[in-house]
């Protein structure tokens, strides 16, 4: 699959060039960082349009296929990183709980990458929390992506200075190392993550497609739903490539990505919505067929209700499309003029409906303000 996916990558780069979408060079990393640096950042979660599952390289978190998502301002992650030479090891407090095991390992992996870039050995203290409008995120809202982006941005600012975060190719490459989708939370809006088997780590990064605010009419309605099976995204990444449908999903991605790029440039939010809904179904078809014995049924019964509700609303002329990522939480993509009607319909079905907009890129925040908010 390397050859066709490499060829697809070349076609995608050509399409970006045709639309005038550029990206910076990977920066030279030739100066020492600050062993006592401090930084804080905020990032939004993302909602998949063209999703991904599976890692062809777990160490560098390289995906089998490119992916596209839209950032969602229904929530954000705030993260503070403090390098301290007196610390014997890295410490991470996430949502008020000390991170251990695999959670801490993933944080350390991201910090290690920044340390290598900054020629540092200093350990760090990380404090982070997710904040959701309505107080509920459910499973599948994409907060691992916002957490990854906020961690990378804060760590880069602390180690190399705020100006280093301006290179989105570098920042998104660092954010990829905790959760792959974190690279797209760095760039914000509707973003594309370039990836294929064998790609060089510095060439696997995210870039924003809607830089001219082409999708200003699109609105997001988040319907948080908890997973009753305690779903872990990393398990889905492990199982999905075993699906008999996985290679077909990969091979379709070239045409879908090119179509999505063209749609965003044309301000065609409905094509973006159609792709997001269709790929939600494809993602779960792949996920559910990755094992012969312990199949991952990531949706909950509520998902069928919401997908059918979208069909019913579209039959009445109301434009709305349902998108899910690994978990059951649903994000509805609709037009600004239809928000009230869609939200009222969803609430009448007994669901929470959190109205929102396209979220912007990850950004640095004042360190002292971050300390105060994290202490609350």
pLDDT tens column, 103-130: 999 999 999 999 999 999 999 999 999 9
Other CB atoms within 10 A of residue 125 CB: 15
CATH code 3.40.630.30 for 2-375 = no
237 to 101, 139, 150, 228: CA distances (angstroms): 18, 16, 22, 19
Give which of 155, 184, 219 is closest to 357, Cα–Cα.
219
Alpha carbons within 13 A on the beta-carbon side of 150: 31
How large is the angle between the packed helices 168-175 and 143-160, nearest 10 degrees?
120
Q: Dump strand ranges (E) for the chain.
A: 38-43, 46-50, 55-57, 62-63, 67-71, 75-83, 91-94, 97-98, 124-132, 190-193, 206-208, 218-223, 320-324, 330-335, 354-356, 363-364
The overall average pLDDT reported for the chain is: 95
DSSP label of 159: H
Q: What is the pLDDT of residues 236-286, one digit of tens each?
A: 899 999 999 999 999 999 999 999 999 999 999 999 999 999 999 999 999
Q: What is the pLDDT of residues 311-334, one digit of tens each?
A: 999 999 999 999 999 889 999 999
The tokens 């179509």 sit on which residue? Answer: 259
pTM score, two decimals?
0.96
Bridge partners, 40 (sequence order): 80
Tell me the two tokens of residue 293.
């014995």
Which of 54-71 are b and which e, b meaning 16 or more Cβ less than 10 Å from the residue's Cβ? bbbeeebbbbbbbbbbbb
DSSP label of 165: G
What is the pLDDT at residue 182?
97
pLDDT higher than 90, residue 307:
yes
pLDDT higher than 80, residue 6:
yes
pLDDT higher than 70, residue 296:
yes
117 to 121, 152, 170, 195, 299: CA distances (angstroms): 11, 12, 10, 21, 40
Q: What is the pLDDT of residues 82-102, one digit of tens each?
A: 999 999 999 999 999 999 999
* Cα separation, 285 vs 274, whole angstroms: 17
Q: What is the CA radius of gyration of the chain?
A: 20
The tokens 């600050």 sit on which residue? Answer: 34
Q: Cα-Cα-Cα-Cα dihedral of 339, 345, 347, 353, to 10°?
A: -30
What is the pLDDT at residue 139?
73
**% pLDDT > 70, the chain:** 99
244 to 175, 198, 285: CA distances (angstroms): 30, 22, 10
Give which of 75, 96, 361, 52 is closest to 237, Cα–Cα.
52
Confidence of residue 134 (pLDDT cuts 50, 70, 90): confident
DSSP label of 27: P
Task: Mention every residue, 6+ apart, whose C-beta is less than 8 A from residue 234.
Answer: 102
What is the pLDDT at residue 140?
59
């Amino acid at each position: 699959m390397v050859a066709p996916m490499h060829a697809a990558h070349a076609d995608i780069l050509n399409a970006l060039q045709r639309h005038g979408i550029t990206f910076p060079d990977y920066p030279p990393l030739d100066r020492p960082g600050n062993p006592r640096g401090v930084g804080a950042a905020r990032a939004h979660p993302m909602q998949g349009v063209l999703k991904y599952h599976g890692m062809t390289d777990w160490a560098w978190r390289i995906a089998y296929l490119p992916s596209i998502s839209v950032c969602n301002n229904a929530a954000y992650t705030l993260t503070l990183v403090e390098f301290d030479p007196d610390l014997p090891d890295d410490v991470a407090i996430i949502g008020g709980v000390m991170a251990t095991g695999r959670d801490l390992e993933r944080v350390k992996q991201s910090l290690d990458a920044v340390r290598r870039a900054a020629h540092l050995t200093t350990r760090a203290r990380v404090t982070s929390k997710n904040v959701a409008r309505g107080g509920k995120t459910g499973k599948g809202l994409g907060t691992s992506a916002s957490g990854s982006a906020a961690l990378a941005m804060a760590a880069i600012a602390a180690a190399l200075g705020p100006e280093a975060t301006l290179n989105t190719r570098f920042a998104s490459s660092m954010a990829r190392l905790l959760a792959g989708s974190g690279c797209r939370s760095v760039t914000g809006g509707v973003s594309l993550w370039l990836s294929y088997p064998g790609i060089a780590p510095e060439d696997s990064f995210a870039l924003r497609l809607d830089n001219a605010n082409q999708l200003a009419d699109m609105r997001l309605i988040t319907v948080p739903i908890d997973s009753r099976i305690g779903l872990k995204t990393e398990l889905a990444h492990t199982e999905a490539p075993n699906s008999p449908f996985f290679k077909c999903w990969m091979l379709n991605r070239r045409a879908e990505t090119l179509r999505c790029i063209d749609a965003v440039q044309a301000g065609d939010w409905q094509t973006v919505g159609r792709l997001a809904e269709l790929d939600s179904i494809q993602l779960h078809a792949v996920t559910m067929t990755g094992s012969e014995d312990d199949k991952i049924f990531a949706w909950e019964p509520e998902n069928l209700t919401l997908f059918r509700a979208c069909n019913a609303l579209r039959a009445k002329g109301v434009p709305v499309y349902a998108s899910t990522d690994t978990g059951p939480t649903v994000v509805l993509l609709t037009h600004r003029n239809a928000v009230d009607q869609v939200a009222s319909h969803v609430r009448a079905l007994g669901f929470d409906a959190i109205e929102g907009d396209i979220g912007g890129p990850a950004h640095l925040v004042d360190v002292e303000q971050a300390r105060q908010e994290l202490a609350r």
